[in-house]
C-alpha cells in the first residue's frame, strides 16, 4: 500500500458575531446582522433595520 501524500494548508479563521437590536428582541422580533468580530463595533442600528430607527441598543 502506498503512503498517502500529506499537504499542510494554512486555514484562516475569521470569528463572526451576530449583532442584534435589543428593543426588537424584547418585542419578540429577531433583527440583526452577521459581522466579522473586528467590525462588530461599527455596526449601527440603521444598518440592522435597513431604515432609520430610534432603537439605540445593540447586543
| Structural domain contains residue 55 | no
pTM score, two decimals?
A: 0.71
Structural domains counted in the chain = 1
Asked whether residue 16 is domain-assigned, the answer is yes
Position 21 in a domain? yes
DSSP string over 1-59:
-PPPP----------EEEEEBHHHHHTT---EEEEEGGGGGG--HHHHHTS--S---B-
- Taking the C-alpha atoms of residue 55 and residue 45, their distance in angstroms, rounded to an integer, is 7
> Which pLDDT score is estimated for 33?
95
13-54 residue pLDDT tens: 999 999 999 999 999 999 999 999 999 999 999 999 988 888
- Confidence band for 4, pLDDT divided at 50, 70 and 90: confident
Looking at residue 20, its pLDDT comes to 95
Task: Give the span between the Cα atoms of 57 and 59, in whole angstroms.
Answer: 7
Question: 18 lies in which domain range?
Answer: 9-36
- Is 43 inside any structural domain? no
Neighbouring C-alpha atoms within 13 Å toward the C-beta of 14: 7
The answer to whether position 54 is within a domain reads no
Residue 1 — very low, low, confident or very high, per pLDDT cuts 50/70/90? low
Residue 22 within any structural domain of the chain:
yes
Query: Is a pLDDT exceeding 80 seen at residue 2?
Result: no
Q: Is residue 28 in some structural domain?
A: yes
Amino acid at each position: 500500500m502506498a503512503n498517502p501524500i500529506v499537504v499542510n494548508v494554512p486555514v484562516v479563521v475569521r470569528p463572526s458575531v451576530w449583532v442584534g437590536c435589543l428593543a426588537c428582541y424584547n418585542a419578540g422580533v429577531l433583527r440583526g446582522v452577521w459581522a466579522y468580530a473586528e467590525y462588530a463595533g461599527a455596526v449601527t442600528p440603521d444598518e440592522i433595520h435597513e431604515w432609520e430607527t430610534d432603537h439605540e441598543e445593540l447586543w
